Structure 1
């Protein structure tokens, strides 16, 4: 029989586990009493930014994506270099590529004015992603909140963990699996490329020298190839941008998947979802192309899944007063 001391120890252990679990759970009403207007504040700043920068919505959702894939959704991406931090902004996937940090700063300023010291930068990224999708005509959802901000960055992790636009489907699947996301999540989240832009350097190999062959990617629609070559000349700088979705570039819809069916995926990582022989992703692309509601529903669930990657909660981390630096 257990002694009373052993029994008490077990009860304390169970209580600790339950408490830890409850701390780790995010919820949509986290700021209902401390900052009830936070979603409206975020959306208002983004609406204003969209007036002069139609790309900003896609850029903001990309910040959330690139943050979550590196040590979890903790706003580590937002930290600037200082004496102890090597910024993730200077990693290969982010340098001269990620953008929208000034808009995040503006959101943080507006939120701090209304609710000082309450809302984390990590939650601002999650809320910004939802607002950006909704404002572009996509679905809206109740964002799960309660993340706290990291005191560290992981530049090496950013170099290794973030999916690259030139990767094979097997590599993409492995990187998603490493953070607990499945094949449906991969296809659904790739659908965020239904709006936004990409630099020529991220896909120019497909236009002129795919896999070192000296020829274009054979999966690339030939008419689309001609159009892209005009935008991205072979000896150009590599930094001009073109629409990820040539049909409705600033609208969040399911045309991205129809583009894949027509061999008009801009990035190799896009077209791989449909053109990899025998891949399980093909049927998902076909479903999302024919049924926008199915895409929207899966996208919302996948965004929630991604937002749940290793958040800091409870007493872990901090609430930064400036998203670019630790307190």
Structure 2
């Protein structure tokens, strides 16, 4: 009997040891996938690819790939990660949509607050109001006059219901007390293509996606959505919405990193540690600043603070979405 007990105990210890070795070896040789719930070429995709490069070294040089799973305002990609193996090899990079999905969707196949491990915030991204290159207006005053003269005929592009561009567009219409025809796309990339081509008139989108287009004079820029002017060379001359006469209009988009619920604590710590290293990487910071984004350096880089912040954002945006009467099935 004693021999049997010793054998069982030895087997149990061996299993625990193997499990500990497997966890200690994370990430090992298996690639890590960062799921972006929007199409390639969009602002969140750009952040993800820069972050993947910056996190590779602190994670031992492991391969980190980006997987675009676009659709349904980011909920398809988020659900994909929520249902993935909780081993740290499948992550989600999402923006403010994590806080707006609970208000936008009557029924989600996952819980934003309960089905993810929060790994830390990445950046804060201002937004810009831009127009097609052939638009007759050249400044915000001329733009509002043009909007007033063309009521019911203006097309406002966005990256889909729940996307940052959609939320900004809602607030913009509300601020001007006007209605525009919103044109949803499967991501900001195709929306930007049609804006440049003149198929749509306006779009409000993140600086990570608009800065290079503004710099290249492929679109017209009218204002930024921050409380203060930006210092990025291509954007420094743009007025804030407040300066342009739109009161209390401030929208900043943020990005955070997530893992499936149940991912072991030592694995999430390794990921959080790697994220902190990446956020101090001079090359990553330079790339983000060049796009008008600000890399997070406050307490939101901590897992618990990240989760607390998103909960506060859910409480902030849900009543706004409800008041606008916008819902997605």
TM-score, normalised on structure 2?
0.33
Higher Cα radius of gyration: 2
TM-score, normalised on structure 1?
0.33
- More helix, by proportion: 1
